[in-house]
Amino acid sequence: MAAADVDEYLADVPDGDRKALERIRRTIRSAAPEADEVISYGIPLYKLNGHLIGFAAFKKHLSLFVTNSAVLKRFAAELEPFECKGTTIHFSAERPIPEELVTAIVEVRIAENAAR
């Protein structure tokens, strides 16, 4: 059964991964305080003038969904240590995405959505 909200989603994530995702969550909420936090497609997703960014836990990795592949190209150098596929960045609790990079990605996504 899908989680009803992000707190419920995170409650089912193993401790180390949960802490990494909670850090991502705090960073997103700080960078986009007016964004709506929802569960969509079974994962935590933030919406502000459309889909903004989301995250998820999987068995072998954690993911940050940026919903626009141009963002990955824009931050290609900073994302080099991570596996990126389509609009998704794979990371782990042991190798988290730096908070400054998450903030920068969120800011770019806010601007992209506002420009549409």
**Beta carbons within 10 angstroms of residue 43's beta carbon:** 18
pLDDT of residue 12: 95
- Residue 12 identity: D
Give the C-alpha distances (Å, rounded to integers) separating 69 from 17, 19, 22, 53: 25, 26, 24, 12
| Span 7-46, pLDDT tens digits | 999 999 999 999 999 999 999 999 999 999 999 999 999 9
pLDDT of residue 1: 65
Q: What is the mean pLDDT of the chain?
A: 96
> pLDDT tens across 100-110, in order?
999 999 999 99
Domain ranges of the chain: 6-115
CATH of domain 6-115: 3.90.1150.200
Place 2 in a pLDDT band, splitting at 50, 70 and 90. Answer: confident
pTM value is: 0.95
**pLDDT tens readout for residues 41-87:** 999 999 999 999 999 999 999 999 998 999 999 999 999 999 999 99
